[in-house]
Amino acid sequence: MIGRLVALAQRGDRRAADRLVREHDGWVRSAIYAVIGRPDLVDDVAQQVWLRVWERLDTLQSPARLRPWLYTIARHTALDVGASHGRRSGRTTSLENVSAVDERSERHPAQAASRREQREVLLAAVQALPADYREPLVLRHLQDWSYAEIAQVLNVSVETVETRLVRGRALLRELLQDRVSS
């Protein structure tokens, strides 16, 4: 099925290309976010990823390997953009986004502020994880993928994914404990 879709897209079928984007854009965005950690840059990077995909689609020999191939492009593009913009180390967000969130929870501003602060601490801890642990963890949460699906995209074994998730969670807990104690 996916092989036929890729073959059609490679031959220039516009509908197949559209479908390919629609079916894969969601997880590609999650992958970009997992790498770059900047939601404000995800749209821009996703556009660049799809441009690169169309430029290189002919080089994809095995359509069954579409997902890992897309992930590699998404990862490299995100890293390129991350290098120029700086991966998020300290948490930043636009005022527009903050006000949109605040409007929803205006009735209890203190609670909302506390929740936002808590979320910022959690996100900062996730961003502080090494890429090997952060990427499967983010994909697991955002895409609800199985270990096998994550393993296929990351091009590692299922056991490796499982170990990285367990270690990532343990490391996350340690990071949060350090922050709380400091």
DSSP state letter for 97: H
Q: State yes or no: residue 113 binds another protein (CB under 8 A).
A: no
Three-class DSSP category at 175: helix
Closest approach, Cβ 56 to another protein, in A, equals 26
- Write phi, then psi, for 60 (nearest 5 degrees): -75, 105
Closest approach, Cβ 68 to another protein, in A, equals 20
Question: Interface with another protein by CB under 8 A: which range of 14-22, 76-84, 93-101, 105-113?
Answer: 93-101
Q: Which residues contact 182 (CB under 8 A, 6 or more apart)?
A: none
Distance, CA of 19 to CA of 118 (rounded, Å): 38
Question: Interface with another protein by CB under 8 A: which range of 5-13, 53-61, 70-78, 137-145?
Answer: 137-145
Residue identified by tokens 């894969």 is 24
Greatest pairwise CA separation for the chain in angstroms: 58
Q: State yes or no: residue 140 binds another protein (CB under 8 A).
A: yes
Using CB under 8 A as the criterion, which residues of the chain lie in contact with another protein when the complex forms? 29-30, 33, 39-40, 42-43, 93, 96-97, 100-101, 118-119, 122-123, 126, 137-138, 140-142, 146-147, 162, 165-166, 169-170, 172-173, 176
